[in-house]
Amino acid sequence: MRGLFEAAPREQARVLVVHHNVLRGDISRRMGLARWRQAQRRIVASGAEVVLCGHDHEEGAELLGGRVVVSTAGTLCRRTRGGRPSSFNFVTIEPTAVHITYFRWDVESRRFRASDTTAFARPGREAPAQQVQAAS
Ligand SMILES: [Fe+2]
């Protein structure tokens, strides 16, 4: 993975997609991976900038290792955690920032509606990423 990311053109975002959640679920308190410490170290060392994952059925937007943006998708089925609405994450990668917006199912209007957005600065190779919470 590291070799692929290193060889890619500099202007391209390094995005890693895995099924299982790489961070502990807030509600489930579960890690999605059996050897999660090793997996987290490898992800950080890979040069990935953004990780897209799911499995835990609870949406999340956090940093791993202070610099890898992790977008954990909720679920579109009814098996949500804590009776939460179904949701998906809309991830936007810009030259200087990564934005993750949760779209949650709204029962009344019977449609997904944009909800919270979390923004992460997308630094060059030098500075650590920063997280900014924005409510909409
Ligand atoms: Fe799963």
First to last CA, the chain: 36
Would you state the pLDDT for residue 135? Answer: 61
Express each pLDDT in 81-101 by its tens digit. 989 999 999 999 999 999 999
Q: For residue 6, how far is its CA from the centre of ligand 1 (angstroms)? A: 29
Q: What percent of the chain lies above the pLDDT cut of 90? A: 82
Would you state the pLDDT for residue 132? Answer: 67
- Number of domains into which the chain is organized: 1
Q: Examine the pLDDT at 136 and tell me if it is beyond 80.
A: no
Would you state the pLDDT for residue 113? Answer: 98
Express each pLDDT in 8-52 by its tens digit. 998 899 999 999 999 999 999 999 999 999 999 999 999 999 999
Would you state the pLDDT for residue 118? Answer: 98
Would you state the pLDDT for residue 123? Answer: 77
Q: For residue 112, how far is its CA from the centre of ligand 1 (angstroms)? A: 22
Report the Cα 94 to chain-centroid distance in Å.
15
CATH no. for residue 115?
3.60.21.10
Would you state the pLDDT for residue 129? Answer: 64
Q: Which ranges in 8-106 belong to alpha helices (H)? A: 36-46
Report the Cα 34 to chain-centroid distance in Å.
19
Q: Is residue 66 part of a domain?
A: yes
From residue 47, how far is each of 50, 84, 128 by CA, in Å? Answer: 9, 33, 13
Q: Is residue 132 part of a domain?
A: no
64 vs 132: which has the higher pLDDT: 64
Q: For residue 35, how far is its CA from the centre of ligand 1 (angstroms)? A: 16
Phi-psi region of 55 (alpha: psi -120 to 50; beta: other; left: phi over 0): left
Q: Is residue 52 part of a domain?
A: yes
Its pTM stands at 0.89
Q: For residue 36, how far is its CA from the centre of ligand 1 (angstroms)? A: 15
Q: Is residue 136 part of a domain?
A: no
Burial of 114 (0-12, 13-18, 19+ CB in 10 A): exposed
Would you state the pLDDT for residue 125? Answer: 47
Long-range contacts of 9-14 (CB under 8 A, 24+ apart): 13/49, 13/50, 13/93, 14/46, 14/47, 14/48, 14/49, 14/50
Q: For residue 75, how far is its CA from the centre of ligand 1 (angstroms)? A: 10
Q: For residue 17, how far is its CA from the centre of ligand 1 (angstroms)? A: 13
Domain that holds residue 88: 2-121
Q: For residue 19, how far is its CA from the centre of ligand 1 (angstroms)? A: 6
6 vs 123: which has the higher pLDDT: 6
Q: For residue 22, how far is its CA from the centre of ligand 1 (angstroms)? A: 12
